[in-house]
Amino acid sequence: MRIARSMARGAAALRLIGLPALALWILSSAAGAETRGYAISMVHTATYAEQGNCPNGGNGSSTEIHEKILMDEGYSRAQAVKMLTGNERLLDFDTRGHLYGQRVDVGVFPTSVPDDHIETVQGAGPGHYMYGFNLAGKVTPDSFEDPETHQMVQNQMWRVLGCFTAYQYQSPSIPPYNEGIAWDTAMDSMPAWLLSISGADLSGDGDVTVTFDRSLDILIRDRRGGVLTGSSYTIDPDPRNHSAFKGHIKDQVLTIEPGNFFMQGESQFYALLRLTQTHLRLKLNANGSLSGIIGGYQPWLDYWEYVAIRGEEDSEVDIPGVYYALKRLADGVPDASGHNTAISAAYYLEAVPAYVLNRFGKVVGGAYVNGRPLNGVVAGEVTAR
């Protein structure tokens, strides 16, 4: 009975693209170069928390951040604890700024409060680990060692965020609490982010083309709440969300030649994700999925906008403290006055096999599972697991 239900779900997924279109795509792909499609099923700030990163104890979670804010307002620790644990609410943490004699929102006017110098991740050089890429083309005084490639890499975004409790996970696959909730909410309303890989033979080493696009469709969930393997998505023809890179596959690891990346999101999640000198390192997993790291220089105001719009209650960070730290530690793309407008950053990314269609309904990227095109039989195998 379970197998029958699984086959039915697989067949339903395939009906989303239409069997005639699927048959034509399988025949055409067998005759020449192939393109495999994917729906990005998770993206969030990469993490690698280690003992010793924050020798002063870190910045804590919302409770500790709010306690410090109250003490900065002149309350004793005992009064602050009482206020936070009781029903009495004497201060709106978002509107604690002061400008021209008025209280203002620190998410709009971050400099309306002084820089309290949040604790940032300490250490650099070999043995101080964090995911990232060598964006500077050299070892800098702030470089980390990537735990997978053991190259010296830049990731100043991690220095800013890594001493907040929400980001203190060693595994990059575990989303920071605030970003995980934002992504789970966005999945049901935000158009999907798509990835395609094209090449002569994607089962072995070789040169490929890697493209990213936004979809006209939202992600389709499976019965466990994740993203359904084998679902189909139509590419949004808006060229702003199309990024193409020359890529390479070696030993089932996909990399790209650096370039520019742009993807539009939505409010409460990343409003947009844009990178210069974009690098990518994804594992082509046996089950057809992808997982790995994307990174580059990111306008630091973009990430600050993400935490600012969520407010002090939900961002799990000290909003003005992050503003000052991002500005202080930014290390790329200087403006005319010499101030850096971007910061080195790395994001963890997962993707599942999906059918990618153009706006005319033609399948331009197929879903592969265990090295085979996803047809009815394979769909049943996937959904039965």
What average pLDDT does the chain have?
87
- Residue 103: its pLDDT value, please? 87
Mean pLDDT of 214-240: 95
- Residue 24: its pLDDT value, please? 44
Mean pLDDT of 95-115: 89
Residues 285 and 360 in one domain: yes
Residues 125 and 34 in one domain: yes
Residues 96 and 17 in one domain: no
Residues 220 and 181 in one domain: yes
The count of structural domains within the chain is: 2
Residues 157 and 306 in one domain: yes
Query: Torsions phi, psi of 89, nearest 5?
Result: -125, 100
Confidence of residue 88 (pLDDT cuts 50, 70, 90): low
Give the model confidence (pLDDT) of 141-185 as tens digits.
999 999 999 999 999 999 999 999 999 998 899 999 999 999 999
Residue 29 has pLDDT above 70, yes or no: no
- Residue 91: its pLDDT value, please? 61
Tokens of 94: 């978002």
- Residue 380: its pLDDT value, please? 40
The domain boundary, picked from 72, 92, 115, lies at 115
The domain boundary, picked from 115, 141, 159, lies at 115
- 297 or 99: which leads in pLDDT: 297
Residues 53 and 75 in one domain: no
Task: Classify residue 385 by burial, with Cβ atoms within 10 Å: 0-12, 13-18, 19+.
Answer: exposed
Mean pLDDT of 193-219: 96
pTM of the model: 0.87
Residues 66 and 197 in one domain: no
Residues 200 and 107 in one domain: no
- Give the Cα-Cα-Cα angle 104, 108, 110 (nearest 5 degrees): 80
**β-bridge pairing 34-45 and 191-199:** antiparallel
Residues 141 and 185 in one domain: yes
Q: Residue 169 is inside which H or E element, if any? A: none
Confidence of residue 105 (pLDDT cuts 50, 70, 90): confident
Residues 88 and 55 in one domain: no
Residues 1 and 52 in one domain: yes
Q: Range of 266's domain?
A: 1-59+118-385
Residues 272 and 175 in one domain: yes
